[in-house]
């Protein structure tokens, strides 16, 4: 990798204004394997100025020109897909096969979807005598997380490009290498100078400078609710648009008529995937009280089938969590579950016995959990499932919605109409009925403290558009 100590600004790789380096840690070894440059407000100023200069010309490009750019990016991405997957596996600990197939595959899925959307999206139409025009909002600041890094880069950069916006990306400093590969892809695809810029750095410095910058018209942020609040506060002084996808504590309701062997196993698998580091993970499994003992046994067996170990090993299903801070947080919350009286079904504190280094967490299941326990309230962001028994339908709906978050909910029902009735009562932006396949055309985002705005498909495109009314455009 040739560009770890540089930023991508104005169509070229450039050195930082004020040289400073940050170690990139391999979470499987706890050792640094490279260093990246971290930016300052001066670097942000330089990137924003580049995006501002490029905006007038890029905003006037045609649909055809923007489609040609997206197709060129897709072609280059196909060439570098393995590099993206390898980077993600090393920097955040995802098993290599999962990183290459699923994590890196999300970049292709979003590219193909945005090309499809841009081909037909109605940017202008007439209502009565008024022209309604959807126009690019301007220069956008994009801050992306470490847990699904290329997914979040793609679902911010691509709609911004399709809309006609220019941008500055700040990827997570915990997962910075895939963003370098992405930037190389953007360059190879012939992205016009200044349209796409990338500055590495910390949220406290680079993220803050972007959020408060008077020449950034919109901030799109994915990360923790705590950090999202800081982005919104810093953005408020310039009244810029803020779109946020934040934390989650998603309920998974198993109704009494389901096949419990299948529904519980799939719920455990969904929770443990990516080491539990997914904001929409089904972390609270609600089960009928009379099936609680049965569910415990099924969940225990499912969790213990996850092989924990080196991400590069082909048999590994669960890699490490991303860093020491995340590991310690998860350990603290596991201890809180034990202390507050939840039943530890499997897993528990510490690393798996066969591992003596790396940020590895035991696949953990708690049962007999009540919704007032810490492990049912806080987002753990690790491979920890909580099982909560419920007495009746009214109670489970109330408990499922009793959370600060509202990103996702899951409902499992043999009677689909019954499942739909429960889904209609969920205060969440996404409801997954009977473990469906993902849908990159569906709007992704949350209620309550899970954020505002939506990503994916046409919904993501519209976040980057302003609405103009030209009244009297057409004679009466």
How crowded is residue 246: how many other Cβ atoms within 10 Å of its Cβ?
A: 26
Q: Which residues pair with 388 in a beta bridge?
A: 286
Instruction: Kindly state the DSSP code that residue 193 receives in the 8-state scheme.
Output: T
Residue from 279, 379, 455, 463 carrying the catalytic annotation: 279
Q: What b-and-e string marks burial along 21-34, b requiring 16 or more CB atoms within 10 Å of the CB? A: ebebbbbbeeeeeb
Q: What is the spatial distance between Cα 168 and Cα 54, in angstroms, rounded to a whole number?
A: 12
Q: Which residues contact 56 (CB under 8 A, 6 or more apart)?
A: none
Burial class (CB in 10 A: 0-12, 13-18, 19+), 68: middle
Q: At what angle are helices 260-272 and 292-304 packed, to 10 degrees?
A: 50
What is the per-residue DSSP string for 85-147? HHHHHHHH---HHHIIIIITHHHHHHHHHHHHHHHH---EEEETTEEEEEEE--EEEEE--SS
Q: Is 245 a catalytic residue?
A: yes
Q: Evaluate whether 74 touches 115 at the Cβ level (below 8 Å).
A: yes
Q: Evaluate whether 358 touches 321 at the Cβ level (below 8 Å).
A: no
What are φ and ψ of residue 220, in 5° steps? -115, 120
Tokens 């919104």, located at residue: 232
Both tokens of 336, joined, read 């809180």
Q: Is 261 a catalytic residue?
A: no
Residue from 91, 173, 208, 245 carrying the catalytic annotation: 245
Residues classed as catalytic = 245, 279
């Amino acid at each position: 990798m040739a560009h770890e100590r540089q930023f991508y600004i104005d169509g070229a790789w450039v050195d930082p204004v004020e040289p400073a380096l940050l170690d990139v840690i391999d979470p499987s070894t706890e050792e640094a394997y490279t260093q990246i440059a971290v930016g300052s407000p001066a670097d942000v100023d330089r990137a924003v100025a580049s995006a501002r200069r490029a905006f007038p010309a890029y905003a006037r490009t045609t649909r055809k020109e923007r489609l040609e750019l997206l197709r060129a990016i897709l072609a280059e991405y196909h060439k570098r897909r393995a590099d993206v997957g390898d980077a993600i596996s090393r920097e955040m600990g995802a098993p290599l096969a999962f990183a290459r197939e699923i994590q890196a595959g999300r970049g292709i899925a979003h590219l193909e979807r945005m090309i499809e959307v841009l081909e037909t999206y109605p940017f202008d139409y007439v209502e009565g005598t008024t022209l309604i025009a959807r126009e690019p909002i301007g220069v956008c600041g994009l801050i992306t997380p470490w847990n699904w890094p290329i997914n979040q880069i793609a679902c911010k950069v691509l709609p911004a490009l399709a809309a006609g916006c220019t941008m500055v990306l700040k990827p997570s400093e915990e997962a910075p290498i895939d963003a370098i590969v992405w930037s190389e892809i953007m360059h190879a695809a012939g992205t016009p100078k200044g349209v796409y810029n990338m500055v590495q750095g910390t949220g406290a410095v680079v993220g803050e400078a972007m959020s408060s910058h008077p020449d950034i018209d919109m901030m799109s942020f994915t990360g923790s609710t705590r950090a999202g609040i800081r982005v919104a506060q810093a953005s408020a002084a310039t009244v810029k648009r803020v779109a946020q996808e934040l934390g989650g504590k998603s309920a998974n309701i198993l109704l009494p008529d389901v096949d419990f062997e299948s529904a519980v196993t799939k719920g455990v698998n969904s929770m443990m995937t990516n080491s539990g580091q997914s904001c929409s993970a089904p972390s609270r499994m609600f089960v009928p009280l009379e099936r609680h003992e049965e569910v415990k046994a099924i969940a225990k067996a499912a969790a213990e089938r996850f092989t924990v170990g080196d991400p590069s090993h082909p048999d590994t299903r669960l890699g490490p969590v991303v860093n020491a801070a995340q590991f310690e947080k998860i350990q603290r919350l596991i201890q809180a579950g034990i202390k507050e009286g939840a039943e530890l079904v499997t897993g528990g504190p510490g690393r798996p016995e066969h591992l003596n280094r790396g940020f590895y967490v035991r696949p953990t299941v708690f049962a007999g959990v009540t919704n007032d326990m810490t492990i049912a309230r806080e987002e753990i962001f690790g491979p920890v499932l909580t099982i909560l028994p419920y007495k009746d339908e009214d109670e489970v709906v109330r408990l499922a919605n009793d959370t600060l978050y509202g990103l996702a909910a899951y409902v499992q029902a043999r009677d689909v109409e019954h499942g739909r009735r429960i889904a209609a009562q969920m205060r969440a932006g996404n409801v997954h009925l009977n473990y469906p396949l993902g849908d990159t055309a569906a709007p992704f985002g949350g209620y309550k403290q899970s954020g505002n705005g939506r990503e994916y498909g046409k919904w993501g495109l519209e976040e980057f558009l302003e609405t103009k009314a030209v009244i009297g455009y057409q004679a009466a």
